[in-house]
C-alpha cells in the first residue's frame, strides 16, 4: 500500500512553518494516542503514521530530502523514516511535546538529572460561613521528607558521592522495543537520576527521603468556591537525593448550609410565610451570611415564588472587596390543623368571596379558561 503524503498525514500545507507542524502534530498525536484509543488498530496505525511524518518534517535536512525525492529518499533505511526509528526514542519526543500532559515531571529523566519529588493531593472541608469570610485550615498529609541521617543525600557520609548507574549508563532511562514502538521508562535501579549512591544511608536506603506525616496551615481566601484547588509550591514530597520537592494541591469542599444556597456571588434564602402574612403584608427579619440581620418588607398579596433582592448582602467575590446580592424567595404556607374558630373564619371568608371580587385574578383567570375550554367542545 502506498504511503500517505507526510504533509497530508499531519493536515498541513507543504510550506507550513515549524510551529505549524508542531501544533498539527500535537493535535493529532493527542487524538490518536494508543492510551486514549485502547484496542483501536486504526488509531494505532494513524498514530504511527503521524509520528513517522513528524519525525521527517521536523528535521530540516530530512524535510528537504523528502520535498525533493518523496518517500524514496528514505527507502533502504535512509533517514530511518520507513523503520519508524526516532532519534532518542518516542519517549523523548512526547516528554518534549506534552510534558505534564503525558505524565512527565520536571527535573526527571535522562542526562543524569535528579527527579523532582511527587505532588501530593489533600482535601479540606469548610463551612459556607468560612468560605465567605476566609479561614485558615490545618491539613495533615502523608508525605516524604529529606532524610535527617544523610541530609537528603542518600549517602552515609552526607556527601553527593555516587557512581554512574550501570543499568542505564547514566541516562536515567532504559529502553525496550514493543512492536513498532521504542518505549522508554525510568531506570528502576537509579530512579531516573542516572547515578547510584556510594555508601547508601541505612535509614532511607539511599533514596534521600523518608516517609513522614506533616501538618500544614492552609490559608483559604474569602469567596472560595466548592471544588477550588489551592497549590502550595514546594510543599509536596521531597525530591530524591537533594532534588526539588513537589507541590501540594489542596482541594476545598464547602459543606451545604441549612439556610442559604449559593450561586456564584449571590445567596438565596427560602422564607416560608404564613397565609395571613402574605395576604396582609408586613415586615420580616432574615439573617445574612455575614452574621447581620436584614429587614424585608412584604407587600400585601405576596405570592409563592415572589423574590426580594437585598443588594450587597450576598457572597464575597474572590480577590475583591465586592459582594453579590441576597435573594429572599417566598413560599406561602397553607395552614394545617385548623381550630374550629379558624375554620369558621375561613369558611366565612370563602362565602364572602363568592359574592364579591376575591382578589385572586390568577385563580379566576384559570377557571375562566377552563369554562371556555369545555364550552368550545360542547
* Per-residue pLDDT reduced to its tens digit, 29-59: 888 887 778 888 888 888 888 888 888 888 8
CATH number, domain of 228, equals 2.10.230.10
Grid coordinates in use for 106?
520536571
Q: Please indicate, yes or no, whether residues 232 and 142 belong to a single structural domain of this protein.
A: yes
Residue 271 lies in a domain: yes
Q: Do residues 164 and 193 share a domain?
A: yes
**Domain limits for position 217:** 120-254
Q: What is the mean pLDDT of the chain?
A: 81
183 within a domain of the structure (yes/no): yes
Q: Which three cell numbers stand for residue 354?
A: 363568592
| Residue 276 domain-assigned (yes or no) | yes
Does 40 or 273 have the greater pLDDT score? 273
Q: How much is the pLDDT for 299?
A: 95
Q: Within a domain: residue 376? A: no
Answer whether residue 377 is part of any domain: no
Q: Which residue has the cell 502534530?
A: 25
Query: Is there a single domain that holds both residue 240 and residue 278?
Result: no
At 115 the pLDDT is: 62
Check whether residue 222 and residue 265 sit in a common domain.
no
| Better-scored residue on pLDDT, 376 or 133 | 133
The CA-CA-CA angle for residues 228, 264, 248, to 5°, reads: 5
CATH assignment at residue 94: 1.10.287.110
Reading the block at residue 121, the C-alpha cell is: 493531593
Distance in angstroms (rounded) separating the CA atoms of residues 55 and 51: 6
pLDDT tens by residue, 71-126: 776 664 444 444 333 334 444 444 444 444 444 444 444 344 456 778 889 999 99
Q: What is the pLDDT of residue 157?
A: 76
Q: pLDDT tens digit string along 285-297?
A: 999 999 999 999 9
Same domain, 130 and 246: yes
Say yes or no: 124 and 239 in one domain. Answer: yes
Does residue 279 share a domain with residue 242?
Answer: no
- Which is nearest to 228 in space by CA: 238, 218, 237? 218
81 and 19: one domain?
Answer: yes
Is 375 domain-assigned?
no
| 131 and 243 housed in the same domain | yes
Q: Is residue 149 part of a domain?
A: yes
Residue pLDDT, tens place only, 14-29: 888 888 888 898 888 8
Residue 264 shares a structural domain with residue 294: yes
Which position has the grid cell 504533509? 7
Q: Three cell numbers at 41?
A: 488498530
Q: Measured in Å, how far apart are the chain's first and last C-alpha atoms?
A: 77
Residues 273 and 240 in one domain: no
HEC states along 23-90?
HHHHHHHHHHCCCCCCCCHHHHHHHHHHHHHHHHHCCHHHHHHHHHHHHHHHHHHHHHCCCCCCCCCH
User: Which CATH number characterizes residue 323's domain?
Assistant: 2.60.260.20
Q: Are residues 35 and 151 in the same domain?
A: no
Total domains in the fold of the chain: 3
Cα–Cα dist 203/200, whole Å: 9
Amino acid at each position: 500500500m502506498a504511503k500517505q503524503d507526510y504533509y497530508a498525514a499531519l493536515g498541513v500545507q507543504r510550506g507550513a512553518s515549524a510551529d505549524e507542524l508542531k501544533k498539527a502534530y500535537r493535535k493529532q498525536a493527542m487524538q490518536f494516542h494508543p492510551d486514549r484509543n485502547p484496542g483501536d488498530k486504526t488509531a494505532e496505525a494513524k498514530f504511527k503514521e503521524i509520528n513517522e511524518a513528524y519525525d521527517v518534517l521536523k528535521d530540516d535536512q530530512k524535510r528537504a530530502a523528502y520535498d525533493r525525492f518523496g518517500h524514496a529518499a528514505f527507502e533502504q533505511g535512509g533517514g530511518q523514516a520507513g523503520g519508524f526509528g526516532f532519534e532518542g526514542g518516542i519517549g523523548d519526543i512526547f516528554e518534549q511535546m506534552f510534558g505534564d500532559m503525558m505524565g512527565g515531571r520536571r527535573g526527571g529523566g535522562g542526562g543524569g538529572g535528579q527527579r523532582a519529588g511527587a505532588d501530593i493531593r489533600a482535601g479540606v472541608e469548610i463551612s459556607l460561613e468560612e468560605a465567605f469570610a476566609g479561614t485558615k485550615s490545618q491539613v495533615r498529609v502523608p508525605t516524604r521528607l529529606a532524610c535527617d541521617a544523610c541530609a537528603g543525600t542518600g549517602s552515609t557520609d552526607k556527601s553527593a558521592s555516587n557512581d554512574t548507574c550501570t543499568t542505564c549508563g547514566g541516562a536515567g532511562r532504559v529502553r525496550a522495543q514493543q512492536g513498532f514502538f521504542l518505549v522508554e521508562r525510568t531506570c528502576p535501579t537509579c530512579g531516573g537520576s542516572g547515578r547510584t549512591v556510594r555508601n547508601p544511608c541505612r535509614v532511607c536506603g539511599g533514596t534521600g527521603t523518608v516517609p513522614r506525616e506533616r501538618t500544614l496551615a492552609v490559608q483559604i481566601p474569602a469567596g472560595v468556591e466548592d471544588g477550588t484547588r489551592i497549590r502550595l509550591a514546594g510543599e509536596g514530597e521531597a525530591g530524591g537525593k537533594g532534588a526539588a520537592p513537589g507541590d501540594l494541591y489542596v482541594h476545598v469542599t464547602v459543606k451545604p448550609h441549612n439556610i442559604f444556597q449559593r450561586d456564584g456571588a449571590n445567596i438565596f434564602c427560602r422564607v416560608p410565610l404564613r397565609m395571613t402574612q402574605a395576604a396582609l403584608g408586613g415586615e420580616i427579619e432574615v439573617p445574612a451570611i455575614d452574621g447581620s440581620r436584614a429587614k424585608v418588607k412584604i407587600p400585601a398579596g405576596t405570592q409563592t415564588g415572589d423574590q426580594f433582592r437585598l443588594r450587597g448582602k450576598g457572597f464575597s467575590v474572590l480577590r475583591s472587596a465586592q459582594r453579590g446580592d441576597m435573594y429572599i424567595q417566598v413560599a406561602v404556607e397553607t395552614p394545617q390543623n385548623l381550630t374550629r374558630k379558624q375554620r369558621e373564619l375561613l369558611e366565612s371568608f370563602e362565602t364572602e368571596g363568592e359574592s364579591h371580587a376575591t382578589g385572586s385574578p390568577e385563580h379566576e383567570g384559570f377557571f375562566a379558561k377552563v369554562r371556555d375550554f369545555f364550552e368550545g367542545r360542547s
